Amino acid sequence: TRVPERDPWGLRAVAALLLVTAFAFSFGPSGGRIADGFSAHAACDAVPPRIDAWVTPPAYTGRPPVFLTSPALANPALADNGKQAASTFTVPEGSDVSLRVTGGSGEETLSYADANGNASTIEPTGQKADAAKPAAATPSTATPSTVRQFTGKLTTNGTLTLQSGNDELGNWAFAVIPDKPPQIRFVGEPKRAVNGSFELNYQIDDDYGAASAKADFALADPPAPNAHPLYG
């Protein structure tokens, strides 16, 4: 057979030793089996979601949108538990809050709780029908193309919370500025101008400025005591 001549260094013994060692390791607590390659495994963890949130004040306020998330908050400013750091935003009453989740599990939920702790769920737009479908029996993996959009209106102080199952992904507190009705008052008494026209001075006060005003005039019935016409 001439094995000694072909293997003068005895490397065949090393190969046999490696084979025995690998066989023994496969039965240990850290070893695997050939059958593992044919076994089904649970799905990988969902892709970490990208969260974009912003508030759009009513157009008549003239205020720009307020962005609730930013690259500075997305990673470095995360709290120790990995959640978005809570922030308080002051916004006008009637503002629209929008939140978009890209990626993640696809089962994120959004709720808004007022100062008294009364919480209400904000349904994802365009996906109410999908939410009513039963969950699949087998686990599914989310892809970065999974997008969930939420939209709600802010009318009271409260906290917006985004969750995925029992995990909280972020929360934002809002201080809502009440929208007071406009006030109008006369400045001085109505009078006749030098050119003979009717002169009426008034002042309008509003949180965000008045766009227009309309006045209706009618004769008092009966006329006030000692009333006199402005003309003639």
In terms of domains, do 76 and 171 share one? Answer: yes
Residue 210 lies inside a defined structural domain of this protein:
no
In terms of domains, do 116 and 90 share one? Answer: yes
Residue 187 lies inside a defined structural domain of this protein:
no
What's the confidence (pLDDT) of residue 93? Answer: 96
Residue 43 lies inside a defined structural domain of this protein:
no
What's the confidence (pLDDT) of residue 175? Answer: 95
Nearest C-alpha neighbor of 102 from the set 163, 165, 49? 49
In terms of domains, do 34 and 57 share one? Answer: no
In terms of domains, do 173 and 65 share one? Answer: yes
For residue 46, give Cα distances in angstroms to 43, 62, 70, 95, 104. 8, 40, 22, 32, 5
In terms of domains, do 123 and 14 share one? Answer: no
Residue 192 lies inside a defined structural domain of this protein:
no
**H or E segment and range at residue 12:** helix 11-26
In terms of domains, do 12 and 91 share one? Answer: no
What's the confidence (pLDDT) of residue 76? Answer: 38
Residue 185 lies inside a defined structural domain of this protein:
no
Residue 214 lies inside a defined structural domain of this protein:
no
Half-sphere exposure for 183 (CA within 13 Å, toward CB): 6
Q: What is the pLDDT along the chain (232 residues), one digit of tens a residue?
A: 565 666 676 666 777 788 878 777 777 666 566 666 666 555 555 567 899 999 999 999 999 999 998 655 444 334 444 444 456 899 999 999 999 999 888 889 999 999 998 999 999 987 544 544 454 444 444 444 588 999 999 999 999 999 998 889 999 999 999 999 999 998 988 888 888 788 888 899 998 888 888 888 777 777 778 777 666 5
Residue 87: domain span: 50-177
Domain boundary (133, 155, 177) is at 177
**Residue 85 is part of a domain; what is its CATH number?**
2.60.40
What's the confidence (pLDDT) of residue 84? Answer: 44
In terms of domains, do 73 and 160 share one? Answer: yes
pTM, to two decimals: 0.60
Domain boundary (177, 201, 226) is at 177
In terms of domains, do 32 and 124 share one? Answer: no
Residue 163 lies inside a defined structural domain of this protein:
yes
Residue 56 lies inside a defined structural domain of this protein:
yes
Half-sphere exposure for 117 (CA within 13 Å, toward CB): 0
In terms of domains, do 82 and 123 share one? Answer: yes
In terms of domains, do 102 and 19 share one? Answer: no
Domain boundary (144, 159, 177) is at 177
In terms of domains, do 34 and 124 share one? Answer: no
Residue 51: other Cβ atoms inside 10 A: 20
What's the confidence (pLDDT) of residue 144? Answer: 43
Domains identified in the chain, total number:
2
In terms of domains, do 68 and 153 share one? Answer: yes
